[in-house]
């Protein structure tokens, strides 16, 4: 170990924590830790070795520091964020790149030298009077081709507590990897909540910065507690992993991984990409199916197939709308004893929690992110303050769910039969549709994914945006290159997954929903049958859609309800004007926002436009599915 590094660590860490750090044979790690111990200047340093004693210390500290509060149910705690710090801060999230590197107009970047200088100015002495927590984690299963080792530095026990539930422990993985050769490659995260007010929430939001130093595998996050900005291993690490994957011929995707049960006890695994608040978590929690992950997937090619693993082992999910009828498995977990962190919900006088659309009557008063709350309380603009924030969250381990896949930590991952793309779309796409082939699927379903904005990001809601593969916010390579990576990834595979689109948000002209929440179970069961060529489909200008008879059986057997031909016709009518308008919006996006768009994208769009125009000439603007059978 370098003499200066050794001197710093020996003088700033007590003997027990110094020894735990020294157990990892990594001069790179030691130098990194020493640098930020000196720079952030905490009073004490705690090294988590994943022992039960370490984990319990963090849990206890989160309560004592006021970052979390206890609830009546055993293991349950709550946390509040500043009212201006309750969504991903896209404005102040930047990828840091060296001079001369251009990721295109669709990706927010900043000069690395300038960004690092600002981040370090903000971080200087920011942890004075506090404890710096050092913790080790694995993205992906441990001891696996999917594994990425990570080290987190933070002064927030809430952040570390979340990461205990969300990620696999990594201390032993660091020791194992450093056994023969000094470990030098790992992701690094430096976070500080900054100055807090009397409610223990981040105060200096004007100095909130989330910077990803792309070519040094480091994330800096300051003056924020909201999980999407502060839990570095989540979406912030995606930028690092996407770049890493691009150089190693695999994919990092904003995808759930879910096992769907088919006939004869068959299990088929799917990945699914959805923007936030578009049904991804509720899909991953489908009753009777098997959850592997609800948010981030790593995809690698096997000998002839695609295999996927969940980068995480827990769930940082949106709680609004979770109720006993529609989400029985999640409801049971959230209402049982066990370790769960609730963020930005309302805490009742009895020590319970309430959230928007819980399916039960709201208490008259309680405690929420605005302080003491009561029905009719208004903000400074005169607007009603809801009992919980629309982006309120829960954090839990997947093992607490009744549908967790028993192979959750399988180092080989899961063979994928289908890949699904879905967004918020009220007027264009049918509820479920299969692409013609891999390239058509990557482009027409993935690269053309369009969705309305939600409360998961700061800013206006309801704005229609193009969001390639639901991953635009997290890309660290140019958009065109990313699309080409996806095209190349499946090309030539003997067992390439089928690609589908889903749409849970279709409405009629009067604004009424044409889907019910749990209909998604049928859409996935139909896709499972298609993967194994067990049912036929109708060819449309935009892909293959189900036959009515097959859906009628699935609705009756799976959801125990009737499904009429009238419902089918409304849901699966091909909307020519809306589809043509979408093509023009997508073309404009790629012509103006993406400098390196692969030519094949425009070729696929033009071919789809021609099919739509031909169908319009034969059948008119709106084509019921039965017409295409004739």
- Dump pLDDT digits (tens) for 231-280: 999 999 999 999 999 999 999 999 999 999 999 999 999 999 999 778 89
On whether the CB atoms of residues 144 and 411 are closer than 8 A, the answer is: yes
Closest among 455, 451, 452, 453 to 468, alpha carbons compared:
451
Q: Residues in the chain with pLDDT < 50?
A: none
Give dist(CA 505, CA 429) in Å, integer. 9
Question: What 8-state DSSP symbol labels residue 444?
Answer: I
3-state secondary structure of 3: helix
Q: Considering only CA atoms, which of 7, 9, 204, 195 is closest in space to residue 92?
A: 204
Q: What is the Cα–Cα distance from 471 to 488, expressed in whole angstroms?
A: 17
Question: How would you class 465 by CB atoms within 10 Å of its CB: exposed for 0-12, middle for 13-18, buried for 19 or more?
Answer: middle
Given 40, 138, 150, 278, the catalytic residue: 278
Taking the alpha carbons at both ends of the chain, their separation in whole angstroms is 77
Contacting residues for 421 by C-beta, under 8 A, at least 6 apart:
272, 273, 274, 445, 446, 449, 469, 470, 499, 500, 501, 502
> CA–CA separation, 152 vs 141, rounded Å?
18
Contact 21, 10 (CB under 8 A): no
Surface-to-core class of residue 596, CB atoms within 10 Å of its CB (0-12 exposed, 13-18 middle, 19+ buried): middle
Collapsed DSSP state (helix, strand, coil) of residue 273: strand
The confidence score (pLDDT) of residue 2 equals: 85
The answer to whether 608 and 444 have CB atoms below 8 angstroms apart is: yes
Domains and CATH numbers, the chain: 3-66+86-248 (3.40.449.10), 251-314+407-629 (3.90.228.20), 317-400 (2.170.8.10)
Helix ranges, 407-449 (H): 438-440
b/e code 525-534 from CB counts within 10 Å (16+ = b):
bbbbbbbeee
Residue 571 CB coordination number (10 Å): 21
Tell me if residue 429 is catalytic: no
Q: Are 89 and 210 in contact (CB under 8 A)?
A: yes
Q: Dihedral, CA atoms, 483, 499, 273, 554, nearest 10 degrees?
A: 170
List of residues 6+ apart from 567 with CB closer than 8 A: 514
pLDDT tens readout for residues 86-112: 998 989 999 999 999 999 988 989 999
**pTM of the entire structure?**
0.94
Q: Which segments within 498-614 are labelled E, that is strand? A: 498-502, 537-540, 543-546, 574-575
As a 3-state breakdown, the chain gives helix, strand, coil percent values, each rounded to 5, of 35, 25, 40
- Please name the helix (run of DSSP H) or strand (run of DSSP E) that holds residue 243, with its range, or none: helix 235-248
574-575 vs 187-192, strand pairing mode: unpaired
Q: Which residues contact 381 (CB under 8 A, 6 or more apart)?
A: none
Neighbours of 305 (CB within 10 A): 15
Q: What is the rounded CA–CA span in Å between residue 195 and residue 202?
A: 6
- What burial letters (b/e) apply to 149-176, b meaning 16+ CB within 10 Å? bbbbbbbbbbbbbbbbbbbbbbbbbbbe
The Cβ of residue 129 has, within 10 Å, a number of other Cβ atoms equal to 10
Backbone torsion region of residue 576, taken as left when φ is above 0, otherwise alpha when ψ lies between -120 and 50, otherwise beta: alpha
Element housing 259 (H / E) = strand 255-261
Closest by CA to 236, choosing from 258, 252, 257, 250, is: 252
């Amino acid at each position: 170990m370098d003499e200066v590094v050794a001197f710093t660590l020996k003088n700033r860490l007590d003997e027990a924590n110094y020894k735990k750090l020294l157990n990892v044979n990594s001069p790179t790690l030691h130098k990194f830790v020493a640098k930020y111990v000196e720079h952030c200047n905490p009073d004490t340093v705690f090294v988590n070795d994943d022992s039960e004693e370490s984990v319990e210390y963090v849990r206890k500290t989160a309560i004592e520091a006021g970052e979390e509060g206890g609830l009546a149910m055993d293991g349950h705690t709550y946390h509040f964020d500043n009212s201006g710090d309750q969504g991903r801060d896209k404005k102040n999230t930047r990828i840091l790149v060296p001079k001369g590197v251009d990721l295109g107009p669709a990706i927010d970047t900043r000069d690395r030298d300038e960004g690092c200088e600002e981040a370090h100015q903000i971080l200087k002495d920011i942890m004075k009077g506090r404890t710096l927590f050092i913790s080790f984690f694995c993205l992906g299963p441990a001891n696996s081709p999917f594994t990425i080792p990570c080290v987190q530095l933070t002064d927030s026990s809430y952040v570390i507590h979340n990461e205990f539930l969300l990620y696999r422990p990594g201390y032993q993985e660091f020791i194992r990897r450093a056994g023969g050769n000094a470990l030098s490659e790992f992701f690094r995260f430096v976070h500080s909540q900054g100055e807090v007010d009397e409610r223990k929430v981040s105060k200096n939001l004007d100095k909130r910065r989330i910077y990803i130093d792309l070519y040094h595998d480091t994330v800096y996050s300051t003056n924020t507690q909201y999980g999407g900005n502060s839990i570095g291993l989540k979406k912030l690490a995606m930028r690092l992993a996407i770049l890493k994957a691009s150089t190693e011929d695999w994919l990092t995707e904003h995808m759930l991984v879910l096992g769907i049960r088919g006939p004869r006890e068959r299990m088929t695994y799917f990945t699914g990409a959805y923007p936030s608040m578009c049904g991804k978590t509720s899909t991953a929690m489908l009753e009777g199916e098997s959850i592997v992950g609800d948010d981030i997937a790593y995809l690698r090619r096997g000998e002839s197939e695609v295999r996927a693993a969940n980068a995480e082992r827990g769930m940082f999910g949106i709680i609004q709308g979770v109720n006993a009828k529609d989400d029985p498995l999640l409801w049971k977990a959230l209402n049982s004893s066990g370790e769960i962190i609730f963020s930005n919900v309302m805490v009742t006088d009895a020590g319970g929690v309430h959230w928007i659309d819980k399916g039960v009557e709201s208490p008259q008063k309680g405690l929420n992110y605005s302080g003491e709350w009561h029905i009719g309380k208004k903000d400074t603009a005169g607007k009603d303050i809801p009992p919980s924030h629309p982006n309120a969250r829960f954090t839990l381990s997947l093992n607490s769910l009744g549908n967790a896949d028993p192979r959750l930590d399988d180092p080989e991952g899961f063979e994928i039969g289908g890949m699904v793309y879905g967004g918020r779309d009220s007027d264009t796409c049918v509820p479920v549709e299969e692409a013609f082939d891999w390239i058509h699927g990557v482009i027409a379903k993935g690269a053309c994914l369009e969705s309305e904005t939600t409360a998961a990001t700061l800013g206006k809601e309801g704005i229609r945006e193009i969001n390639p593969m639901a991953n635009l916010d997290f890309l660290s390579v140019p958009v065109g290159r990313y699309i080409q990576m996806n095209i190349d990834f499946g090309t030539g595979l003997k067992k390439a997954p089928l690609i589908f689109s889903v749409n849970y948000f279709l409405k009629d002209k009067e604004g009424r929903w044409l889907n019910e929440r749990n209909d998604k179970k049928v859409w996935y069961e139909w896709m499972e049958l298609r993967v194994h060529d067990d049912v036929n489909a109708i060819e449309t200008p935009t892909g293959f859609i189900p036959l009515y008879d097959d859906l009628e059986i699935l609705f009756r057997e799976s959801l125990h309800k009737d499904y009429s031909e009238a419902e089918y016709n409304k849901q699966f009518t091909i909307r020519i004007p809306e589809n043509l308008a979408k093509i023009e919006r997508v073309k404009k996006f790629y012509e103006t926002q993406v400098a390196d768009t692969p030519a094949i994208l425009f070729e696929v769009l033009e071919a789809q436009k021609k099919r739509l125009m031909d169908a319009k000439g034969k059948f008119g603007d709106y084509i019921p599915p039965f017409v295409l059978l004739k």
